Every structure is written in structure tokens, then in C-alpha cells.
Amino acid sequence: MPPATQALILSCVIVYFAQTAVGLDAFALWPIGSGEFLPWQLLSYSFLHGGLSHLVFNMFGLYMFGAELERVWGARRLLVFYFVSVLCAALAQLGVAALSGSMVPTIGASGGLFGLLLGFAMLFPHRKIVPLIPPIPMPAWLFVLLYGLVELGLGVTGSLNGVAHFAHLGGIAGGWLTLRYWRGQPPFGWGRR
């Protein structure tokens, strides 16, 4: 496993066990109006998880997509991409929380993972992915498009309360913007590499 991917996974696992032992509420992403928000939470929330299954699924996705992207980009570029996705996910979630008046904190690496999914689909659009539900092989671009539409639908309808659907979409947006920036594509300019 490439080193940055391995470091992210190990960090999340270690923090998960610390979280279960002592609680790390000050590191969750609290809404700005809650009085609990602190600047480091824009990144620290991504190392916390709501349970073992939350951790396992996120780390499995990080392994599947992060390792592949790190082999292409290298460790530094993967980490930049991942943390920009995490940051954009946090900003999206804070915006939605401010509009809705929610005071519930957000935790999990899902925003970064959704950015990695987008990056994988843009670099390997025709690579086959077989989701757990439904177990139908599909190209990566289609998988991410459908998953993003499902997240948007669930977010707009308020389905599956407790899931930060707009953070997931923010992670996708952060990944997309990062790749557009690296490629010198609009809205960042033309032809810069």
C-alpha cells in the first residue's frame, strides 16, 4: 500500500480508538452558530468516525481509490487532493448547517473519500466498479455520476438523517475543482499544467 494512503488509514484507525476511549468532541466539525466551532475542525473532523462500520467502509474506500491515485500522482499530490476535498466538504456542510439551523456536529472521512471517487472517475473513467448495491459492473464515471445524484436526492429530501449528504457533494466538488486547477481548465485559466 502506498505510504500516504497507509498513513491516512492508520491515522483514522488510531484516532477512532482514541475517540472511543476518551471522546474527542472538540475535533468534530461543529456548526459555526453552535459556539463549539474551532478552525482546526475544518480538517480534524475527517479523522473521527461514528462507529466501526463507518470507519471500515471509509477506510476500505480510501484503500481502493486512494492507493490507485497515489500510484499515479505520488504521496504529496494525493494528500493535497484529499485534504482539499475534506475542506470543501466541511465548507459545504457548514453552509447547509447555517441555512438549516442545524447544531449537529459532522464527523468522518467521507468528504475526502468522495473527492477520491471523483478523482478516480476522472483519471480512469472506463475502469469497471462493482458497487455493493446493486452489484452491477459499471464504468467509474457512471458510478460517480449516479452516486452523486443519489446523494443530491437524499440531501434535498432529508432522507437518512444523520448522514452529511452535502458534505459528500462538497467533497466531490472539491475534487473536481482541484483537478480543474491542476489542468489549467476553467474557472482557473487555460493551458496551465
Please report the pLDDT score of residue 124 as a whole number: 97
Domain assignments of the chain as residue spans, ordered by start: 3-183
Mean pLDDT of 170-177: 97
Confidence category of residue 162, pLDDT binned at 50, 70, 90: confident
Please report the pLDDT score of residue 187 as a whole number: 86
Please report the pLDDT score of residue 24 as a whole number: 87
Please report the pLDDT score of residue 34 as a whole number: 93
Decide if pLDDT at 46 tops 60.
yes
Confidence category of residue 160, pLDDT binned at 50, 70, 90: low
Task: Look up the pTM and report it.
Answer: 0.92
Mean pLDDT of 152-175: 88
**16-26: buried (b, 16+ CB within 10 Å) or exposed (e) per residue?**
beebeeeebee
Mean pLDDT of 160-172: 88
Decide if pLDDT at 159 tops 80.
no
Which amino acid, one-letter code, is at 186? P
Please report the pLDDT score of residue 190 as a whole number: 65
CATH placement of domain 3-183: 1.20.1540.10
Confidence category of residue 80, pLDDT binned at 50, 70, 90: very high
Please list, in sequence order, all residues whose beta carbon lies within 8 angstroms of the beta carbon of residue 124, skipping any fewer than 6 positions away: 68, 140
Decide if pLDDT at 191 tops 80.
no
Decide if pLDDT at 141 tops 90.
yes
Please report the pLDDT score of residue 72 as a whole number: 97
Q: For 4-13, how does the pLDDT look when each residue is reduced to its tens digit (9 = 90+)?
A: 999 999 999 9
Mean pLDDT, the chain, as a whole number? 93
Q: Is 134 left (phi over 0), alpha (psi -120 to 50) or beta?
A: beta
Across the strands, what pairs with 91? none
